[in-house]
Every structure is written in C-alpha cells, then in structure tokens.
Structure 1
Amino acid sequence: MKPTFIRNHQYNYIKKQADFVLKTLRSVADRRVLETVRYSAELNVTGAFASLTAEQEQMLRAISTFEKAEDFQQYTSGLEPYLEPFPPITLKQIQKLFPKNKKMKLPDLQSFDFRYVTYLAWADIATNKLFIVYPHEGQFIGVEGRMLPMHKKGYCLFCNRQQELAFLTVKTKPELAAADNFASVGQYVCFDNQGCNQSITDISALERFVLSVRK
C-alpha cells in the first residue's frame, strides 16, 4: 500500500496548477514564458507541502515536463492513490460534537468519498441548519449554524471561488461573557458543500472561521 501524503486541498491546488500550465501551453508561443510558467508551477506545487521525501518531490516536479492534456490527466490521476482521506469518524462521534442538538439530522457517511473531503458538511433543509465537522490537531471540531440561501453568486469564504452562496450564521459566546450572552458570526459560503470541497485549495480561511466559532 502506497503511503498517503496529499490532502484534498493540496490535490485541488495541484490540479489548478496543472490546468494553468496546460492553458498557457495552448495560448502562449513564447518559450521563455512557457518555461517560466512551468518552473513556477513546479515551485508552487512542491511549496504546498511542509515536507516531502525525495521520491514524493520528484513525483510532484513532473508537472513541469508535460505537453499534452492527456499527460496532465494521467499526472493528476496518478496522484490519487496518495490522497490522505478525511480522518475516520463515526455517527456517535458526530453526535458528541453537538450535545445540545438531540434531534439533529445525521449525515449519510456512506455517501462521502473521504479522499476528497477537507471539511465534512451536511445540511438539514427542514431547519435551515448547516453542520460542519473539521479535524484540527488530532481532534474534531463541530460547527452548527443557520444557513440562508442567497440565490446569487459571489465568493465563498472557504474555497474563494465564485459560486451560488448561502449566508451562514453561527452563535458564539465571547470570553468572559454572561451565560446567556451570545453573539453571531456570519459568513458567505458555498451552498454546495461538495463542490466547495472539490475547489478548496487553501485551508487558512476555513480554519480561522472554525476556530473562531468553536464552542
């Protein structure tokens, strides 16, 4: 079994870099420009990882050597066995993350391909609730918020792509606040959480949000 080392958002980033190189190849004739783009893609892809073995680095650097669309497709497909899936989680673990919500709708875990999940999310349309589970430093963080579809496109906080948005509001309790004193934090996020997971290339904004509203 091959050791996994590529997280979903890193894989999305690699695909984005591969697409950029391919588009440049199709639209630019200047070889100096092409070589600069190839070199930048190589640096960007390897720079997305804190550490790599020599074999892993060599594998990723191959992005700068391709000429045809099928070459890039084979390259990204060849990286799939190295994807590090979302950490294993059970429905009981999820329920414990939301102890105050006894009647919460639980996700169908069998419907997820956890190789392509950066954050686990599911909606309860009946209550307009969105639930998020995010792994951080060996623990799971649960976020529950109210979701209001906006019926318009804009930029999602998590994946920074232009897509159909929902306005997510999460109640938070400021430090040193009274027991019943809550505030709300709101952000625009993708209405389609699966599409968001397929597009996210940087977890910084997602982590800041999750950590800011964690209970």
Structure 2
Amino acid sequence: MSTPFIKNNQYNVIKKQSKHLLHTLRTVADRRVLETVRHDCTMKIVEAFSSLTPEQQQRLESISLLETADDFSSYLSELEAYLEPYPTITPKQIEKLFPKSKKLKVPDLQSIDFRFITYLGWMDISTNRLFVVYPFEGQFVGLEGRLTPTHKKGYCLFCNRHHELAFFLVKTKPAVASPDNVAAVGQYICMDNQTCNQSITNTEALEKFIRSVRNER
C-alpha cells in the first residue's frame, strides 16, 4: 500500500521540472550543462517538501537518472500512486461555508478527481460568482465573489502562470463596522480554476489572499 505524501501543488512542481529537464535533454549536448540542470531540477523538487523519508526522497530523486520521454512519463505515472488527495468534504459542509447563498449550486463532487486539486472552485454562471473552498489551518474556508472576465492573458495570483485572467472581487469585513462601510479585496486569477489547479506550485499567495479577506495578517 503506497502512503500518499505528494500534494497537488507539489506534483505540479515535479511536472514542471520534468518538462524542463526533458527539454534540456533534447536540446543541449554539453554534458556539464545537462548534469547541472539535472541537479537543479532534482533539488527544486526535493525543496518543495518540508520533510521526506529517505525512501520518499530517493523515489523523487530518481528523476536525475531519466533519459527519454517514456522514462519521464513512467516516472510521473508512478508518482500518482503517492498523491495526497484533497480532504474529504460533503455537500452539507460546503453549504455551511456559504450560509448567505440560499440557492447555492454545489458541484458534482463525484465527478472530481480530488488528487489533482489544491482548492475546490466552481462558477455560478447565472450570477457570475466564483466559489472557492480551501483547507486552511485545519478547517475549510469558503470564499465567494464576483468574477469578471478581462479577456486578456496575464499572471494569476494563485498559480503565478500566464493564463486567461478574470478579476475576483470578494467582500470582506471592514475595519470599522458600519452599514455604509463595505470593504472588498480583489485580485486577478485564472478564468479557469481547473487550469489553475493544474499549474499552482505554491500556496503562499492563495493563503495570503485568504488572510486578507479574513482581515488577518
């Protein structure tokens, strides 16, 4: 039985470094350069983890021995057995995160491969609202806000990759409570959250955004 230890964002780091190393192998002949890139890619993968057992580290570092596209494909496929899925969540739990959304349309959880998501996101097309659920500091946090397409490409706050963007505006509690005092936090993120989940390699920006919405430092 394989013990999961790789989160989705860490797997994305592995995919990114695998792609870079394979490209280098195909385009660079200098062995010294190749060995440098092998070492750098391996280190970036290992550094994506705060702790590893010797066996886990050895499994990840085997990327340094790969040569062909088939080798890399097998490497990534084998690591899928060690993916740590998104924490189990039920429709009832999701509904409780958005008490003001009386007609909340919960996504079909059965159709989602939870191994490959860092955050759960879905769009209510009828209201142009994006819902995000993220396991944060031992509990689920829900974000709800208006998503406005920009029809432009740029760098997403969450995944830091160049994709089609939308402006995500989330209302938050103002510093001074008042019926007329409304605060909001907005950032540019991927229009397609599935693409974002396939690209995100670090959760710091996402968690910083959540703290800003919750008025935490």
Regarding TM over 0.5, the answer is: yes
Counterpart contact for 2:157–2:205, Cα < 8 Å: yes
Gaps of at least 5 residues in structure 1 are none
**Aligned counterpart, 1:175:** 175
Residue in 1 that maps onto 2:127: 127
Q: How does 1:68-83 map to 2 (within 5 A)?
A: 68-83=68-83
Structure 2: gaps spanning 5 or more residues: none
> Matches of 1:151 and 1:178 in 2, distance apart?
35
Shift of 1:164: 1.1
Matched ranges for 1:24-35 at <5 A:
24-35=24-35
Q: Give the CA deviation at 1:176.
A: 4.0
Matched, 1:166 2:161: no
The one-letter code matched in structure 2 to 1:16 is K
Structure 1 residue aligned with 2:59 = 59
Q: Check conservation: 1:167, 1:189, Cα contact below 8 A.
A: yes
Distance 1:85 1:188 in 2: 26
Is structure 2 residue 120 aligned with structure 1 residue 112? no
User: Partner of 1:16 in structure 2?
Assistant: 16
1:69 aligned partner, one-letter code:
A
TM value normalised by structure 2: 0.96
**Following TM superposition, by how much is the alpha carbon of 1:27 offset from its aligned partner in structure 2, in angstroms?**
1.0
Q: CA deviation at 1:181?
A: 2.1
Report Cα offsets for 1:83-133 as digits up to 9, x if no partner.
000000001000111111111221111121000010000000000100000
CA contact (8 A) 1:143 1:214 kept: no
Residue 49 of structure 2 corresponds to 49
SS in 1 for 2:42: helix
Is 2:188 aligned against 1:194?
Answer: no
- CA contact under 8 A between 2:173 and 2:214: conserved in structure 1? no
Root-mean-square deviation (CA, aligned residues, Å) is 1.2
One-letter amino acid of the counterpart of residue 86, structure 2: F
Please name the residue that 1:146 is paired with. Answer: 146
In the other structure, the counterpart of 2:102 is 102
Partners of 1:155 and 1:108 in 2: how far apart? 29
Once the two structures are aligned, what percentage of the paired residues are identical?
A: 64
- Contact 1:9/1:118, CA 8 A, preserved across alignment: yes
Q: Could you list the per-position Cα deviations for residues 126-147 of structure 1 after superposition, in whole angstroms to 9, with x for gaps in the alignment?
A: 0010000000122000000001
Q: Which amino acid aligns with 1:33?
A: V
**For the Cα contact (< 8 Å) 2:39–2:64, is it kept in 1?**
yes
Q: Secondary structure at the match of 1:144?
A: strand
**How many angstroms does 1:180 deviate by?**
4.9
Could you tell me whether the CA contact under 8 Å between 2:6 and 2:84 is conserved in 1? yes
Q: Match of 1:118, as an amino acid?
A: T
Provide the TM-score with structure 1 as the length reference. 0.96
Partner of 2:210: 210
In structure 2, the residue corresponding to 1:175 is in which secondary structure?
A: coil
CA–CA distance in structure 1, aligned partners of residues 105 and 4 of structure 2: 32
Measured in 1, the distance between the counterparts of 2:180 and 2:64 equals: 57
Tell me the SS of whatever aligns to 1:165.
strand
Alignment size in residue pairs: 215
Residues 94 and 180 from structure 1, CA distance in 2 versus in 1: closer, same or farther, beyond 3 angstroms?
farther
